[in-house]
Structure 1
């Protein structure tokens, strides 16, 4: 029998004889499975604040389901915590939807943020490119020319570049994902539910206070 086999058998016998030695390690592994650690940890872009980043895509049905829960949770966050939404593009065709979010933010029209999800996932409208997005925006009562100017501005393009940098730094390969304090990322696939994602994000946030 190999040395490795002997060691494994010894550990197994010890666990059986005590009934406790392996339990803490298993519990810790189960708890850790609800999040992943960011290596290296990322600095906050908001001075003096702990950042919670919601990585999302307007076309993602799971983001559509999680968004109202994150919005409700955001209202309970303390003053030293800030929620920032980060639109993600997994291919070049998604960039215009990133620009849509940052345009709404720049124009102080994030009241339309939930309406974008509704338009895509409930009304099934394909507002995926600049022309369709601009037509939709005009239908919402927003000045077309003013929106186009913001949509094509250097400021919005810079924010899209930063969003892409963040997605890469946090190794985001699926949405929605929620990053906490630059150190942890959780998601419905890790936390096993939408509600569990918010609960796990809050638990991780509590460890940073």
Structure 2
């Protein structure tokens, strides 16, 4: 009997449940992926261009994005809060369509937090587009159906993930990271690679 109990204990330790722990501070908003089961991690970051915490995470994660760009797909999903004009979202999506998404993301955050400019303003976004050499394409594309659809898709994802504030980071459409439990934004970007490692195939 004692041998059988010991065998049962060893069997329990060897089950996939024991091996499937994925490190990190998160809550589930979808089906939890198995450990070491994905070729590339999908990292969705829901942001607001007027959010100081989003700007702090942007700066803290620059090195993270460089180091993990080959194994992690970083997807920015900008949203607005009540009463905010959606022009910066339109500018971002148009810029992204021509390979300038990161440039415009930085420009919008810098305009707000370095220069104190109200970026949720159609005139300001028109000016930024022109100053970045995107005036023509922005004017042509900003009100197209595909831009409206991209904005709506961001709203739908935000609602599906139960987002109540920004920034919110969701991995694989399932793991909603509890950034506050890590400490600072720098602490989060230092530790979240542990979660990447547990998700990625070896």
Distance 1:128 1:78, change over 3 A: closer
Q: Is contact 1:35-1:191 (8 Å) kept?
A: no
Confirm or deny that 1:56 pairs with 2:47. yes
**Farther off after superposition, 129-138 or 171-180:** 129-138
The C-alpha deviation readout for 1:69-104, integer Å capped at 9, x for no partner, is 223211222634311111122325242222221121
Confirm or deny that 1:164 pairs with 2:158. no
CA deviation after TM superposition for structure 1 residue 127, in Å: 2.3
Instruction: Output aligned runs, 1:40-189, within 5 Å.
Output: 40=31, 49-77=40-68, 79-110=70-101, 111-142=103-134, 144-189=135-180
Distance 1:33 1:90, change over 3 A: farther
CA deviation after TM superposition for structure 1 residue 137, in Å: 1.7
Unpaired runs of at least 5, structure 1? 1-30, 43-47
Q: Is contact 1:50-1:80 (8 Å) kept?
A: yes
**Distance in structure 2 (CA, Å) of the matches to 1:138 and 1:187:** 38
How many residues of Structure 1 are paired with residues of Structure 2 in the alignment? 174
- What do you get for the CA RMSD once the two structures are aligned? 2.6
TM-score (norm 2): 0.75
TM-score (norm 1): 0.73
Larger RCO (alpha carbons 8 Å, 6+ apart): 2
Distance 1:108 1:78, change over 3 A: closer
**Distance in structure 1 (CA, Å) of the matches to 2:139 and 2:70:** 34
CA deviation after TM superposition for structure 1 residue 139, in Å: 2.5
Distance 1:169 1:200, change over 3 A: farther
**Distance in structure 2 (CA, Å) of the matches to 1:120 and 1:187:** 26
